[in-house]
């Protein structure tokens, strides 16, 4: 590994955290590059479950440096809570965690705006209500407040007052909401400065030096390719770029720094929130997958919608991101299904289409093939050869269709249940 990017290949929740935790073994530095506390990254170590929203999942490995990149939107309260929780569990965090001085703060008015906008609109996105869209909007409007701003309190206070004037007008006049006070915002930021100020630096420079020093860097995407603001199922997307472009933008690294792009994908598909989902299963099968796979949002607790592997969706993910390796997670969840469906194309107005029309796929009909399932418990398998023949056939089919090698397979929630597919070595 020189510089590797791990990207979710569906609508998020692909088991990225678990794979990041696994891949961190080989890395020196792990970097979150976009999104915010909308993410819920679950890692299980020695039967203990950790859920990360902001801190890179690599933090559980002693001695590894974790970076919150400039592309992340940082909720100071959620961040300090996460640090606190980790410290209480005995992890030394502060010396191994650095935050970009260009990361934007998510503040209470962003969360209020997220909620008002969701309730105002006829067509809901189903956001996580963590203030993500409003914070990225302020970034583009150039009225956002950034982590590095806390080092010039006079300037910060002036900027915060200006921004708050606009925000309070919007909240009060458009939505009839309560205004926020400058004192509340400033005291939140002062507390952040006090507790986390020493972690803030120019991470772009830090990462360029790390590349020069031949450190192994792992870039951790949040959400998934199909939630990308440009390439996803707009408007049912998040407000950042989980795709490869976002990895460069959110770290300051350049394209030539990247060696590998790993597409992390579940053996089936889920989606949380509103929006198109062509291969969504019927309620009975969706419920069966949901229960087997414990498919409930790690951030919001919402039940995830569940469905079948979607080849055209994944083909697009591979193409857009240049994925040269795939990691298939949660294969064990499909155990017990007599037949497993795979979406191979769509029917649009009576015509077969093999490409997914991302922003227009609300009313398309999936074309499925069916493969035989397997009944054997695969949670103890540690190589491709140990998998039942039907599971092997399922993976081989996916690999052939996507023309990208399945390099990692995961068959359970624990760290030990991920293995490299030996046939590829």
Q: Which residues bind ligand IMP (CB under 6 A)?
A: 11-13, 38-40, 125-128, 130, 132-133, 222-223, 227, 236, 238-239, 272-273
Q: Which is nearer to ligand IMP, 273 or 345 (CB)?
A: 273
Which is closer to ligand IMP, CB of 92 or CB of 230? 230
**Residue 186 and residue 315: Cα distance in Å, rounded?**
47
Burial class of residue 3 in the structure, from the number of CB atoms within 10 Å of its CB (0-12 exposed, 13-18 middle, 19+ buried): buried
As measured in angstroms, the least distance from the Cβ of 113 to ligand IMP is 11
The closest of 16, 5, 57 to 247, measured between CA atoms, is 5
Phi then psi for 413, rounded to 5 degrees?
Answer: -75, -25
53 is catalytic: no
Question: In angstroms, what is the minimal distance from the CB of 270 to ligand IMP?
Answer: 8
Looking at the Cβ atoms of 11 and 384, the one nearer to ligand IMP is 11
Place of tokens 């991101």: 321
* Beta carbon of residue 227, minimum distance to ligand IMP (angstroms, whole number): 5
Smallest distance from ligand IMP to CB 103, Å: 16
Report the residue number whose CB is nearest to ligand IMP.
273
List Cα–Cα distances, 279 to 87, 174, 393, 403, in angstroms: 42, 38, 20, 21
The yes-or-no answer on residue 13 being catalytic is yes
Contacts of range 351-356, beta carbons closer than 8 Å, 24 or more positions apart: 354/312, 355/312, 355/315, 355/316, 356/278, 356/310, 356/312, 356/313, 356/315, 356/316
**Phi then psi for 223, rounded to 5 degrees?**
55, -145
Q: Which residue number, 230 or 259, has a Cβ lying nearer to ligand IMP? A: 230
Q: For residues 222 and 402, which CB has a smaller minimum distance to ligand IMP in the complex?
A: 222
Tell me how far, at minimum, the Cβ of 187 lies from ligand IMP, in Å.
Answer: 26
- Catalytic residue chosen out of the listed positions 21, 26, 28, 41: 41
Q: Report CA dihedral (110, 253, 18, 223) to the nearest 10 degrees.
A: 40
Residues annotated catalytic, as ranges? 13, 41
């Amino acid at each position: 590994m020189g510089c590797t990017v791990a990207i979710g290949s569906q609508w998020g929740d692909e088991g990225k955290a678990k794979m990041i935790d696994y891949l961190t073994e080989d890395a020196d530095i792990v970097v979150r590059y976009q999104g915010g506390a909308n993410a819920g990254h679950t890692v299980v170590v020695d039967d203990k479950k950790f859920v990360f929203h902001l801190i890179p999942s690599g933090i559980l490995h002693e001695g590894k440096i974790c970076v919150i990149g400039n592309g992340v939107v940082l909720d100071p309260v959620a961040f300090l809570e996460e640090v606190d929780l980790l410290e209480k569990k005995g992890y030394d965090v502060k010396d191994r965690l650095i935050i970009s001085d260009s990361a934007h703060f998510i503040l209470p008015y962003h969360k209020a705006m997220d909620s008002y906008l969701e309730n105002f609109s006829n067509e809901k996105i189903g956001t996580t209500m963590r203030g993500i869209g409003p914070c990225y909007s302020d970034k583009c409007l150039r009225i956002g407040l950034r982590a590095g701003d806390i080092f010039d309190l006079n300037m910060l206070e002036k900027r915060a007052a200006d921004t708050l004037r606009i925000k309070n007008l919007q909240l009060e006049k458009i939505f009839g909401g309560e205004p926020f006070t400058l004192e509340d915002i400033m005291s939140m930021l002062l507390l952040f400065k006090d507790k986390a100020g020493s972690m803030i630096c120019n991470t772009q420079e830090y990462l360029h030096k790390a590349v020069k020093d031949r450190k192994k860097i792992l870039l951790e995407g949040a959400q998934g390719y199909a939630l990308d603001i440009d390439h996803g199922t707009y408007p049912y997307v998040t407000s950042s770029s989980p795709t490869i472009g976002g990895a460069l933008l959110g770290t300051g690294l350049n394209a030539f720094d990247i060696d590998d792009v790993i597409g992390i994908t579940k053996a089936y598909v889920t989606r949380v929130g509103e929006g198109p989902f062509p291969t969504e299963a019927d309620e009975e099968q969706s419920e069966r997958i949901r229960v087997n796979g414990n498919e409930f949002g790690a951030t919001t607790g919402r039940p995830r919608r569940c469905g079948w592997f979607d080849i055209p969706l994944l083909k697009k993910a591979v193409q857009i991101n240049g994925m040269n390796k795939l990691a298939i997670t949660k294969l064990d969840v499909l155990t017990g299904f007599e037949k497993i469906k795979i979406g191979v194309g769509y029917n649009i107005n009576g015509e077969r289409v093999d490409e997914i029309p991302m922003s227009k796929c609300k009313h398309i009909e999936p074309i499925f093939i069916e493969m035989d399932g397997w009944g054997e418990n695969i949670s103890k398998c540690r190589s491709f050869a140990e998998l039942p023949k039907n599971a092997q056939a399922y993976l081989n089919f996916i690999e052939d269709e996507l023309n990208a090698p399945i390099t990692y397979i995961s068959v359970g929630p624990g760290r030990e249940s991920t293995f490299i597919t030996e046939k590829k070595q």
